[in-house]
Amino acid sequence: MKSCLTLRHVSFEDLGTLAGILAQAGFAQRYVEVGIDRLVGTDIQACDLLVVLGGPIGVYEEQAYPFLVEETKLIGERLRAARPTLGICLGAQLMAKALGANVAPGPEKEIGLAPLDLTAEARVTPLRLLEGIPVLNWHGDNLDLPQGCERLAFTRLCPVQAFRKGPNLLGLQFHIEADAHRMESWLIGHTVELGKANVDPRALRNDIARHGRMLQQTAHAVFNEWLDGLET
């Protein structure tokens, strides 16, 4: 079987619906719990696919979270080899930093469901399927476009919502992997952040219930097409 290694930063921000997609595509899956498990000695470089998930810290908080130094270095080594890598939220920010781009706090938190603006470059990628689909944003940091990458999507608050470098490297600031049936764990786990951002969990819960099924169906199509296009 093909292998997928996933770097996870908090337990409830997992592969979500992407886990089933990967299983159907023939990937054996394993999590590495960042900050707990040792990163050196894992198969970050050798696995067929690396997925780097989200989390409530910033890539620039290396003094507070020293593991970020090693994590960024190892991700960078894989990216330079153009090995298939998907970064989501914090994962996309780690990819951007590893590729030499700046990551910093944005003008305000972007939390909630809303459609993206797609670039012309996105029209020939799987992200074209997200046209008009409300996606879940849950971030406060923005990233600059790494050199040699294509910008695929943006919003008013976030100039780079998605980027890619060739067919194998894809960074998404938003969450299309989140399982609508398990989002209560996000609302509980991020309650402090929601309060500080003045986001009502009741409104967010209602939006997830309203759009979750459509988002999940679209995510399946996006991820399956991206996986089919990987060059190994």
Is the per-residue pLDDT at 221 higher than 90? yes
pLDDT digits (tens, 9 = 90+) for 113-165: 999 999 999 999 999 999 999 999 999 999 999 999 999 999 999 999 999 99
Distance between CA atoms of 207 and 129, rounded to whole angstroms?
Answer: 20
Task: Kindly give the pairing relationship between strand 49-52 and strand 135-143.
Answer: unpaired
CB 43 within 8 A of CB 81: no
Q: What is the pLDDT of residue 40?
A: 83
Residue 169 neighbours by CB under 8 Å, 6+ apart: 79, 82, 84, 85, 95, 149
CATH superfamily of 2-228: Class I glutamine amidotransferase (GATase) domain (3.40.50.880)
Q: What type of residue sits at position 188?
A: I
Do residues 133 and 219 make contact, with C-beta atoms less than 8 angstroms apart? no
The pLDDT, as a whole number, for residue 55 is 96
- Give percent of the chain with pLDDT exceeding 90: 97
Q: Please write the tens of the pLDDT for every residue from 32-75.
A: 999 999 998 889 999 999 999 999 999 999 999 999 999 999 99
Domain boundaries, the chain: 2-228
- Give residue-wise pLDDT tens across range 158-204: 999 999 999 999 999 999 999 999 999 999 999 999 999 999 999 99
- In 3D space, the residue among 81, 73, 88 whose CA is nearest the CA of residue 6 turns out to be 88
- List residues with catalytic annotation: 89, 175, 177
User: What CA–CA distance (Å, rounded) separates 206 from 201?
Assistant: 8
Please state, rounded to an integer, the average pLDDT across all residues of the chain. Answer: 97
What whole-number distance in Å separates Cα of residue 14 and Cα of residue 31?
9
